Amino acid sequence: MNHDFSKLPDIIEKHPKSPQSLIAVLQDIQKEYHYLPCEALKLTAEALDLPLSKVFSVSTFYNAFSLDPRGEKVIRICTGTTCHIRGAKQIEHQLETQLNIKSGETTEDMKFTLEVVNCVGACAMAPVVIVNDEYFGSVKLTDTRKLLKGGNNAN
Amino acid sequence: MVRLTINGRVVQAEKGEMLLVVMNREKISVPAICNHGAVEAFGACRLCTVEITKNDWNGWKNYVTSCLYPVEDGLIVSTHSETVINLRKTLLDLHLARHPHSEHVRQWAMEYGITQTSFEEIPDGDDCILCALCTRICDRMGFAAISTVGRGHGKEVAPPLNEPPPDCTGCLACAQCCPTEFITFSDSGTSREIWGKQFEMITCKECSKPILTKDFAETLSKTRNIPADYFEVCDECHRKATALTMGKISQWQREDTAS
């Protein structure tokens, strides 16, 4: 994975140079690169005058942060009780076959990452699939291709 | 000043002091594995839990970790009531299930009469009880080389990025305060290894015994203002040299008085 890290100093500089900015900085880095590269963690620690161990501790604590490179599209399948009953498992299997990866993994072309989450609190529209930040409810097995393509009209 | 009753005994304490500190001073013992005088209380092991009540609580009781509970006027504490002991037994039972190979955990459980866990044992459970003493001590030493990583059941103590920690100086504070001796290191006389990082040892100029790592000596002389050549000789040889000097001085004095 070769990334252009030249943007990192700008991202870090946008925030006040204090330990309190840590999560905000990490969030912006995650937004830009879809994950937290090692270089970014080291730069952040240096810039905010924090030990690297503290930065690592925070970035591994929150599920919103990922230390592994993730695809452009992060597909999250809700597997909460209601979604589970309404077929989340089948949707997961279908997406796994279509993308040829297991959930938690990223496709080789770095386009998609598949994840399962426990409950997103949208049980009324189960089963729910979230593509990046867009929520799709009452997802059917026949919808998965559309979800991967653009996510349009999946409802 | 506040007055409280611990196990029926009236005790005085400063306002704001933690209950465990007061109990330690009064030689009232409760198990407290994650507690260490060098660092702030953390409340990880929960074993110092005690029962508290007050006269105007109409018989209500509360169970608090004494290491994190500031003393109050009129507090009535019992450290070994039946409920407290049962609470501790449950905690130790859980510890025993998660760390079945730890001799230390086994011993703590034994003190409360538990020899076999009643929960499902994790056969490959490691010995780390996640008390975070090591990371807190490391912070206190001023290195913060290691930290807890992850959350929930995947939480562990690890160096950043799971690589040899850049800020570690090999001082061994973490290994020495680990209550279950989970943190391992190897010393070979001239080198030391901990957290996957190799260190060069300084050996005593006089007796060639290994003293401390080069990194640690450098940091100490920088941050604590200790002359760099202080670490060339070990403590024992320092003492021997001092004793020799003192001996010489007293001999001169004797000679002086004799002549």
Beta bridge partner(s), residue B11 = B4
The 8-class DSSP code of residue B96 comes to H
Tell me the two tokens of residue A70: 């993730």
For a pLDDT cut of 90, what percent of chain A falls above it?
Answer: 45
* Residues in A touching B151 (Cβ below 8 Å): 60-61
Instruction: For residue A68, tell me if it sits in a domain.
Output: no
Compute the nearest-CA separation of A125 from chain B (Å): 29
B contact set with A (CB within 8 A): 135, 138, 143-151, 159-161, 165-167
Decide which of A23, A39, A61 is a domain's last residue.
Answer: A61
Query: Is B147 close to A54, i.e. CB distance below 8 A?
Result: yes
How many structural domains compose chain A?
2
pLDDT at A151 over 60: no
- Residue B241's CB: how many other CB atoms inside 10 A? 12
Tell me the two tokens of residue B104: 């230390």
Write down the residue that tokens 């796994």 correspond to.
Answer: A96
Same domain (yes/no): A77, A57: no
Q: How far is CA A116 from CA A84, A130, B251, in A?
A: 11, 10, 82
Could you report the per-residue pLDDT of A32-41, keeping only the tens digit for each?
888 899 889 9
Spatial contact of B201 and B211, defined as CB atoms under 8 Å apart: yes
Same domain (yes/no): A54, A85: no
Query: Is B166 close to A52, i.e. CB distance below 8 A?
Result: yes
Decide which of A61, A82, A98 is a domain's last residue.
Answer: A61
What is the mean pLDDT of the segment spanning A69-96?
A: 91
What is the mean pLDDT of the segment spanning A114-127?
A: 90
3-state secondary structure at position B187: strand
Where residue A96 sits, what CATH number does that domain have? Answer: 3.40.30.10
* Residue of B149, B163, B197 to mutate for A, most A C-beta atoms under 10 A: B149
- Give CA–CA dist A95/A77, Å, rounded: 9
Instruction: For residue A66, tell me if it sits in a domain.
Output: no
Instruction: For residue A155, tell me if it sits in a domain.
Output: no
Same domain (yes/no): A51, A80: no
- Greatest Cα-to-Cα distance within chain A, rounded to the nearest angstrom: 51
* Range(s) of chain B covered by CATH 3.10.20.740: 2-80
What is the mean pLDDT of the segment spanning A14-34?
A: 91
> pLDDT band for position A71 (50/70/90)?
confident
What is the CATH number assigned to the segment(s) B2-80?
A: 3.10.20.740
- Per this entry, what is the length of chain A? 155
Identity of the residue in B151, B166, B167 whose CB atom sits nearest the CB atom of A61: B151
Compute the nearest-CA separation of A59 from chain B (Å): 8
Q: Residues of A numbered 51-70 whose beta carbons fall under 8 angstroms of chain B's beta carbons: which are they?
A: 51-57, 60-61
- Give CA–CA dist B199/B171, Å, rounded: 10
What is the mean pLDDT of the segment spanning A15-39?
A: 91
Q: Please name the amino acid found at residue B5.
A: T
Question: Given this model, what pLDDT does residue A155 score?
Answer: 40
The 8-class DSSP code of residue A124 comes to G
Digitized pLDDT (tens) for each residue of chain B, 259 residues in all: 999 999 999 999 999 999 999 999 999 999 999 999 999 999 999 999 999 999 999 999 999 999 999 999 999 999 999 999 999 999 999 999 999 999 999 999 999 999 999 999 999 989 999 999 999 999 999 999 999 999 988 899 999 998 999 999 999 999 999 999 999 999 988 899 999 999 999 999 888 889 899 999 999 988 888 888 888 899 899 899 999 999 999 999 888 888 7
* Residues in B touching A61 (Cβ below 8 Å): 150-151
Same domain (yes/no): A82, A57: no
Q: Is this prediction's pTM over 0.95?
A: no
Same domain (yes/no): A90, A145: yes
Tell me the two tokens of residue B1: 């000043």
Same domain (yes/no): A83, A107: yes
Same domain (yes/no): A79, A145: yes
Give residue A38's domain range: 5-61
Same domain (yes/no): A133, A83: yes
Same domain (yes/no): A48, A102: no
Same domain (yes/no): A126, A77: yes
Q: Residues of A numbered 21-50 whose beta carbons fall under 8 angstroms of chain B's beta carbons: which are they?
A: 38, 41
Same domain (yes/no): A139, A110: yes
3-state secondary structure at position A27: helix
